[in-house]
Amino acid sequence: MQRLSGKMAFITGGGTGIGRACALLFAREGAKVVVAARRRKKLDAVAQEIIAEGHNALAVECDVTRKASVEAAIRAAEERFGGLNVIVNNAGALHVGTAEETSEEDWNRVIAANLTGTFLVSRAGVAALRRASGGAIVNIGSYLGLVGIKQRAAYCASKGGVTLLTKAMALDHAAEKIRVNCICPALVETEMALGAMQRMPDPAAYRKLRESQIPMGRAGTPEDVAQLAVFLASDESAWMTGNAIAIDGGTTAG
């Protein structure tokens, strides 16, 4: 039995990294999948990959920082598949720097993508989940929404907001059978993370340093995160809501 059989899922940031891994695995577990992001070419490639495997998928352009774009994308998802059961908020942005080193432009960009985007998609999606008699919102946060590190002021602030938005919405909508949980990964091999490493003076040395800080000795993969997302989207986690779950190779255990 496929774990997401009969469910319809809307996944932001679905063209690359964790979003792509979630889209592929959700489809393989029986879900009809809508992949949403700003870059149409990458979205179309993911949707075609899913369709080629014999599953159902739709690519929808969506800027999660814009209310009208979000609402149109949610509407398109419902119209195509007749409802919505799962939302995965994965779209995001990164900035490396202390508060002093962070411009207002970079601050606003990171907060808009990571926190405001999660808010706008979740707010628009709640009504759709309610029409489906309940469902699940899975926010892709970060272990930096649980603890801080140097040089990540804006990112930590945005992901800390996602953690507590998750908990607040979980309480607000628990009686409606709408569950809200947050996945908090450490370093994962995504386009965004690898790109940030490449901008360091010595990328190989920096990666080695970052992986040495992970007790299990390796970065996570998008598939590691997708497996947890499937669990939180499925009925296997039916009594779980309001959780911020670290998936970090032991990074936050100490």
Per-residue pLDDT of the chain (254 residues; tens, 9 = 90+): 799 999 999 999 999 999 999 999 999 999 999 999 998 999 999 999 999 999 999 999 999 999 999 999 999 999 999 999 999 999 999 999 999 999 999 999 999 999 999 999 999 999 999 999 999 999 999 999 999 999 999 999 999 999 999 999 999 999 999 999 999 999 999 888 777 778 888 888 888 888 889 999 999 999 999 999 999 999 999 999 999 999 999 999 98
201 and 113 assigned to the same domain? no
Catalytic residues: 155
121 and 202 assigned to the same domain? no
Residue 252 within any structural domain of the chain: no
92 and 133 assigned to the same domain? yes
Contacts of 60 (CB under 8 A, 6+ apart): 34, 35, 36, 43, 73, 76, 77
pLDDT of residue 191: 81
27 and 149 assigned to the same domain? yes
Range of the domain at 130: 8-185+221-245
Task: List beta partners, residue 88.
Answer: 11, 138
User: One-letter amino acid identity for 92?
Assistant: G
pLDDT of residue 7: 98
Residue 253 within any structural domain of the chain: no
85 and 196 assigned to the same domain? no
135 and 158 assigned to the same domain? yes
16 and 57 assigned to the same domain? yes
pLDDT of residue 206: 81
Tokens 């159902």 belong to residue: 56
* pTM of the entire predicted model: 0.96
142 and 200 assigned to the same domain? no
225 and 212 assigned to the same domain? no
Residue 254 within any structural domain of the chain: no
DSSP structural state of residue 53: T
Residue 47 within any structural domain of the chain: yes
137 and 239 assigned to the same domain? yes
108 and 211 assigned to the same domain? no
Residue 3 within any structural domain of the chain: no
The structural domain count of the chain equals 2
pLDDT of residue 205: 87
Q: How far apart are CA 161 and CA 129, in angstroms?
A: 22
* Residue 223: φ, ψ to 5°: -65, -35
